[in-house]
Amino acid sequence: MKYLARYSLIFCLLFSTAGLAAESVVSISSQDTFFNSIKMLCGKAFSGKVSIDNVAESSFAGKKLILHVRKCTDTQLQIPFHVGDDHSRTFLITKTGSGLSLKHDHRHADGSSDALTMYGGHTLDAGWPQVQSFPADQYSKELFVKNGIPQSNGNTWQLYVYPEQFTYRMVREGREFRVDFDLKNTIKTPDAPWGY
């Protein structure tokens, strides 16, 4: 009986410790600062403009661009990116315990997932408090090949956050796309993105 009580106590301690570990994710200071700088914008929306796009006919041209830091927890930021009447895109920045993950959640108007969704990457190094880079991960590479766009396997996404500007940038060989959002002026928050 004494042994049973001892094992029960050990089990309870292990279980409670595991619960605590699940609630907090180990992180490093440069990524914490980066994450928290964006988290401080939670609930706010900002207008943006394409500053670089080396494709002649862009689907972003002439459309109103809105970034909305919509939902924030200690481990994930949900950031819809509205392009005109297209509300299909949400950026998900997640603390993983080994860095930060960036995923692109693409939905249809009915809320269902697009065939090309949840692609993105994971940080490979500490980055900087203002800038983090996310080279395409294996899931994304396989998804790009499956969807007939293998050139996207070389994608690296970069996010920059400075006091007056947030930047989303995608680069690969022969391709660069960048949108800058003005953090000096908040705008009316848009409706929820599709699927949310």
Q: What is the pTM of this model?
A: 0.87
Residue 133 lies in a domain: yes
CATH number of the domain enclosing 102 = 2.40.128
What's the number of domains the chain is made of? 1
Mean pLDDT of 149-165: 97
Give yes or no for a contact between 178 and 51, defined as CB atoms under 8 angstroms apart. yes
Q: How far is CA 41 from CA 60, 77, 78, 189, 192, in A?
A: 24, 10, 11, 12, 17
* 3-state secondary structure at position 123: coil
Residue 19 lies in a domain: no
Give yes or no for a contact between 155 and 140, defined as CB atoms under 8 angstroms apart. yes
pLDDT reported for residue 18: 42
Residues in CB range of 180: below 8 A, 6 or more apart = 48, 49, 51, 165, 166, 167
162: domain range?
27-182
Tell me the residue ranges of DSSP E strands in the chain: 45-53, 65-68, 71-72, 76-83, 86-95, 100-106, 119-122, 131-135, 156-162, 165-172, 175-182
Residue 189 lies in a domain: no
Residue 193 lies in a domain: no
- Write the pLDDT tens digit of every residue in 94-135: 999 999 999 999 999 999 999 999 999 999 999 999 999 999
More confident residue, 178 or 12: 178
Query: What is the C-alpha to C-alpha distance for residues 35 and 72, in angstroms, rounded to an integer?
Result: 10
Residue 190 lies in a domain: no
pLDDT reported for residue 59: 80
Residue 81 lies in a domain: yes
- Write the pLDDT tens digit of every residue in 52-107: 999 877 788 889 999 999 999 999 999 999 999 999 999 999 999 999 999 999 99
Residue 44 lies in a domain: yes
Residue 188 lies in a domain: no
